[in-house]
């Protein structure tokens, strides 16, 4: 197979979201929505995806920027770059968790062009799938990673259903922890989807990782005022400090009360990435620590509860103590 040579396609550059939606509806399965292009061009150059029509969203001004909302929350255009999110003073002041997550994505060059919408919408990074083998996710009848000989060091601990690939996004767990709302526009109009429900696993649809259907565009992400200024914690563990996907990452938003040294956890949202096909909301951890003192013992109990039900593959057992330790640190150090 010839690689690094894209198949020809027709390029369209609409200047409005509705224009993009209309074009994508017209092109159907032959169309492709392009944001920053970092994921898309990988597919194109490897000639695994060969769309006939590419709709470039980059010229739509309304999809860019960070806007404060009247209720105290924030709306982020889906084409806002990760660098802009990392450096935005409002995000840093109210939702530092998201700024910290954006800062850990890939490299500065990629963050300069990569968008928040593209980062949460990117496809699975399993090398069997990306190389073009006929696995379950590609329409076949085998998961090559989940075999005695399969290389599955980066794959899931939870939620496997034929496919064992994980969500590769660093910002996705942060958005789940912040209780974000995703705004989607399609041929049937606009809809709002909670971040918890935006990401879907192979048990729902093995050929998609989000609820986005053909012709639909993620236009904005809204962060509620409820979690503005909470205590936050984000940590990513990867083989390299830059230009790499997470082995495990953790994002937490915590509200506490009481004096220093005797604080109590009043509310918490915590999510982990790269352990499941979707960002894994750790509801068991939330239930264990809510109402408890913010102590080392509570943090250790949270870490232990986070790994209940984990089912490791041949080469990813290390993810269990890694996830446990990250959760412990998040509760202790937020």
Tens of pLDDT, residues 61-103: 999 999 999 999 999 999 999 999 999 999 999 999 999 999 9
Q: Which positions ≥6 away from 67 have C-beta within 8 Å?
A: 74, 75, 76, 77
Walk me through the domains of the chain, giving residue ranges and CATH numbers: 64-121+166-225 (3.30.465.10), 227-333 (3.30.390.50)
Q: What pLDDT score does 47 carry?
A: 84
Q: What pLDDT score does 3 carry?
A: 66
Whole-number percent of the chain with pLDDT over 90: 94
CB atoms inside a 10 Å sphere around CB 221: 26
State the chain's mean pLDDT as an integer. Answer: 96
Residue 2 binned pLDDT confidence (cut-offs 50, 70, 90) = low
Contact 323, 248 (CB under 8 A): yes
Q: What pLDDT score does 29 carry?
A: 94
Whole-angstrom distance, CA of residue 304 vs CA of residue 283: 13
Residue 1 has pLDDT above 80, yes or no: no
Q: What pLDDT score does 171 carry?
A: 98
Q: What pLDDT score does 190 carry?
A: 98
- Greater confidence, 255 or 148? 255
Burial of 264 from C-beta contacts in 10 A (0-12 / 13-18 / 19+): middle
- Greater confidence, 22 or 243? 22
Q: What pLDDT score does 261 carry?
A: 85
């Amino acid at each position: 197979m010839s690689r690094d040579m894209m198949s020809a396609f027709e390029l369209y550059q609409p200047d409005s979201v509705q224009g993009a939606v209309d074009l994508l509806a017209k092109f159907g399965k032959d169309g492709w929505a392009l944001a920053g292009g970092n994921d898309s061009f990988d597919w194109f150059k490897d000639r695994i995806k060969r769309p006939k029509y590419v709709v470039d969203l980059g010229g739509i001004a309304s999809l860019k920027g960070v806007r404060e909302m009247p209720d105290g929350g924030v709306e982020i255009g889906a084409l806002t770059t990760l660098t802009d999110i990392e450096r935005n003073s409002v995000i840093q002041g109210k939702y530092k968790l998201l700024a910290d997550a954006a800062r850990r994505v890939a490299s500065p060059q990629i963050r300069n062009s990569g968008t928040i919408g593209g980062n949460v919408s990117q496809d699975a990074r399993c090398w069997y799938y990306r190389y073009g083998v006929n696995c379950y996710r590609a329409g076949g009848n085998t998961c090559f990673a989940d075999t005695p000989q399969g290389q599955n060091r980066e794959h899931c601990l939870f939620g496997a259903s034929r496919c064992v690939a994980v969500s590769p996004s660093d910002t996705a767990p942060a958005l789940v922890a912040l209780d974000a709302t995703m705004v989607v526009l399609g041929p049937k109009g606009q809809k709002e989807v909670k971040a918890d429900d935006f990401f879907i696993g192979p048990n729902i649809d093995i050929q998609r990782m989000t609820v986005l259907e053909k012709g639909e565009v993620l236009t904005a992400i809204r962060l509620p005022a409820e979690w503005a200024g909470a205590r936050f914690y984000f940590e990513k563990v990867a083989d390299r400090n830059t230009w790499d996907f997470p082995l495990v990452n953790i994002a937490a938003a915590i509200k506490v009360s009481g004096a220093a040294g005797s604080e109590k956890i009043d509310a918490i949202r915590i999510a982990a990435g790269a352990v499941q096909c979707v960002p894994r909301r750790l509801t068991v951890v939330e239930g264990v620590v809510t109402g408890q003192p913010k102590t080392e013992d509570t943090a250790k109990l949270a870490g232990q509860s986070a790994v209940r039900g984990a089912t490791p593959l041949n080469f990813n057992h290390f993810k269990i103590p890694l996830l446990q330790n990250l959760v412990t640190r998040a509760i202790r150090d937020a």
